[in-house]
Amino acid sequence: MIGFVIISHSKNLADEVIKLCNEMKNYDFPIVNGSGKDKNILGSDPEVIKKAIELAYLEDGVLILGDIGSSISNAKKAVKLLDNFYNKDKIEIADAPLVEGAIVAMAINSGKATIEDIVLELKELKSFNKVD
């Protein structure tokens, strides 16, 4: 089982993604909001994301999902800030859409799938056609 960090440019949006995922998930694992910057609800910050990764950390790994460029670049900085207690090989930033990626990743996070399996599944999601 892995933990999740959700980062949106809007902290409230990330909260709603987490609520939806908590409604849909079948197992118990942490999903932590890594959004926000100082007291602002818009934007993101490497130190805030670092703390979220620490809270979401499980031995099997942590998957980080972000929406726009700054969420992702701040997530990369956050991973670098972690101390050696955390196995960085098991901490991945998803190349996946925030909402759709979170829903798919939660659905397969049953304890059987490794973080590598989940990352692979999310890569396949990119070529999925929603409409046709």
Which residues form the interface with a copy of itself (CB under 8 A)? 8-10, 12-13, 15-17, 19-20, 23, 42, 66-69, 72, 93-100, 103, 126-127, 129-132
Asked if 32 and 60 touch (Cβ cutoff 8 Å), the reply is: no
CB 115 → a copy of itself: shortest distance, Å?
Answer: 14
Helical H runs in 1-132?
Answer: 11-24, 46-56, 69-81, 98-108, 115-125
Q: Which CB, 108 or 111, lies closer to a copy of itself?
A: 108
Smallest gap, in angstroms, from Cβ of residue 92 to a copy of itself? 9
For a copy of itself, the closer CB: 81 or 85: 81
Q: How far is the CB of 26 from a copy of itself (least distance, A)?
A: 16
Query: 45: which 2 tokens?
Result: 């910050």
Query: Of 31, 85, 38, 36, which Cα lies nearest the Cα of 55?
Result: 31
